[in-house]
């Protein structure tokens, strides 16, 4: 291995690597606990084994991506963007409807979710567009192209329908445009307009079950066995954990499968019940460390493009953590947003590792630039 590559690998951000490694180990432990009494557990459907395989694959991807210049990924972003659009269009035509949504390609035992790919593609493509159009995004034509670039994948994901992933893009876009220097009045006007259109979206574009999720968030007891069931069971699980939790494999809500999707979207509920307040705080602290390292990388990035890109990646992680934990605690409506590096799912884990790898490479470029 060339000396330069050895030095690059040695200069990896150790805090990010350690935090992701700890979260990955905790992911395996909690997924095993959450699914140990499930009827689905078996060799073919063993969530623990599948997640372990995905962790090995995605961790290797993390290291590989970290050694490739972020500029290469920005340059490749148009291809990623167009492939994403193609996949999302094909999915709407031939995808399998599961629980009222068309979100996955099923390739034998593997399920692939293009909307996860879209997060990586859009953050890279938007970075390239902003970098290539310095000083033009404030112009009417530039703003139009910017929101067209963002709007196409968001609309296709919304049609699946996948409200959770669509919402993740909004803070990402806001902070990337803010960091890029777009005038504040344009940003405020744009997002005020989106807020004004929210009632139209609610009454005419949202599916009935999505509207029920919002009403159940405001009053889950109104339909305790229907739309409010997941939220009620999640709050019971977290609240019953107390200070130190009931212990691994001893959570009644999780072990008796009262919590739906307790190995994916509601993994934090299992943590709250079995590891208690202390365990939940440790998880939040790990995410705090990851996010703070990302913010430092964005602040000290060597050029405009890497600053914008790092900002977008950090915004994705912040939003996913905030929305997932918020919905399990009853602070936000229930939407299908996984907890990064913890929830079960190959697509989510793979592209979270991919984005973290780019963040690591930006950090290495800072080290090289300052040395």
Tens of pLDDT, residues 67-97 = 999 999 999 999 999 999 999 999 888 877 6
Number of domains observed in the structure of the chain:
1
Expressed in percent and rounded to 5, the helix, strand and coil fractions of the chain are 70, 0, 25
CB atoms within 10 A of CB 76: 15
**Quick one: pLDDT at residue 78?**
95
Distance of alpha carbon 299 from alpha carbon 90, whole angstroms: 39
**Quick one: pLDDT at residue 262?**
79
DSSP 71-123: HHHHHHHHHHHHHHHHHHHHHHHHPPPBTTB---EEETTEEE-HHHHHHHHHH
Tens of pLDDT, residues 196-207 = 766 766 666 666
Rounded (10°) angle between helices 114-132 and 163-180: 20
Q: 34 with 322: CB under 8 angstroms?
A: no
Q: Is the dihedral of CA 201, 206, 208, 211 positive or negative?
A: negative
Which range is most confident: 39-53, 93-107, 210-224, 280-294? 280-294
User: Coil, helix or strand for 291?
Assistant: helix
Peptide bond into 161 cis (omega under 30): yes
Tens of pLDDT, residues 2-58 = 334 444 566 788 999 999 999 999 999 999 988 876 544 443 458 899 999 999 999
Q: Of 52-61, 132-141, 145-154, 227-236, which gets the smallest average pLDDT?
A: 132-141
Q: Of 239-243, 251-255, 356-360, which gets the smallest average pLDDT?
A: 251-255
- Going by C-alpha positions, the residue among 176, 164, 197, 55 that lies closest to residue 125 is 176
* CA angle 60–323–300, rounded 5-degree value: 55
- Predicted structure pTM score: 0.90
Mean pLDDT of the chain: 84
For range 177-193, the mean pLDDT: 80
Residue 1 has pLDDT above 70, yes or no: no
Rounded (10°) angle between helices 114-132 and 346-370: 30
**Quick one: pLDDT at residue 98?**
66
- Say which residues have a Cβ less than 8 Å from residue 348's Cβ, sequence separation at least 6: 113, 116, 338, 340
Residue 271 has pLDDT above 50, yes or no: yes
Q: 340 with 317: CB under 8 angstroms?
A: yes
Distance of alpha carbon 241 from alpha carbon 247, whole angstroms: 9
Distance of alpha carbon 31 from alpha carbon 27, whole angstroms: 6
Distance of alpha carbon 341 from alpha carbon 287, whole angstroms: 10
How confident is residue 61, by pLDDT bands cut at 50, 70 and 90? very high
Total length of the chain: 371
CB atoms within 10 A of CB 85: 16
How confident is residue 111, by pLDDT bands cut at 50, 70 and 90? confident
DSSP 306-371: HHHHHHHHHHHHHHHHHHHHHHHTTSS-----PPTTTSS-HHHHHHHHHHHHHHHHHHHHHHHHH-
**Quick one: pLDDT at residue 206?**
66
Residue 25 domain boundaries: 3-370
């Amino acid at each position: 291995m060339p000396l330069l590559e050895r030095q690059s690998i040695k200069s990896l951000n150790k805090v990010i690597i350690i935090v992701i490694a700890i979260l990955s180990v905790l992911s395996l432990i909690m997924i095993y606990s959450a699914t140990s009494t499930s009827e689905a557990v078996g060799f073919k459907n063993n969530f623990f084994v599948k997640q372990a395989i995905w962790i090995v694959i995605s961790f290797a991807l993390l290291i590989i991506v970290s050694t490739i210049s972020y500029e290469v990924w920005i340059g490749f972003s148009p291809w990623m963007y167009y492939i994403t659009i193609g996949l999302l269009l094909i999915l709407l035509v031939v995808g399998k409807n599961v629980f009222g949504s068309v979100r996955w390609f099923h390739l034998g035992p593997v399920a692939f979710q293009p909307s996860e790919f879209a997060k990586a593609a859009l953050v890279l493509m938007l970075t390239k567009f902003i970098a290539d159009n310095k000083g033009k995004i404030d112009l009417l034509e530039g703003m139009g192209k910017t929101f067209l670039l963002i709007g196409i994948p968001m609309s296709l994901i919304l049609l699946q329908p996948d409200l959770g992933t669509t919402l993740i893009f909004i803070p990402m876009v806001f902070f990337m445009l803010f960091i890029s220097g777009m005038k504040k009045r344009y940003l405020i006007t744009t997002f005020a307009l989106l807020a004004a259109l929210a009632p139209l979206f609610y009454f005419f574009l949202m599916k009935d079950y999505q509207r029920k999720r919002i009403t159940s968030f405001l009053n889950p007891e109104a339909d305790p066995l229907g739309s409010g069931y997941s939220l009620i069971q999640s709050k019971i699980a977290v609240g019953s954990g107390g200070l130190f939790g009931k212990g691994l494999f001893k959570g009644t809500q999780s072990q008796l499968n009262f919590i739906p999707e307790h190995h994916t979207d509601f993994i934090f509920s299992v943590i709250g019940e079995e590891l208690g307040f202390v365990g939940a705080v440790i998880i939040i602290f790990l995410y705090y460390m990851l996010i703070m390292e990302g913010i430092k990388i964005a602040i000290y990035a060597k050029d405009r493009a890497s600053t914008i890109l790092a900002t977008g990646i950090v915004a994705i992680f912040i939003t996913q953590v905030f929305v997932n934990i918020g919905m399990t605690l009853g602070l936000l409506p229930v939407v299908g947003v996984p907890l990064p590096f913890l929830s079960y799912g190959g697509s989510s884990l793979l592209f979270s590792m991919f984005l973290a790898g780019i963040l690591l490479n930006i950090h290495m470029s800072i080290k090289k630039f300052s040395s």
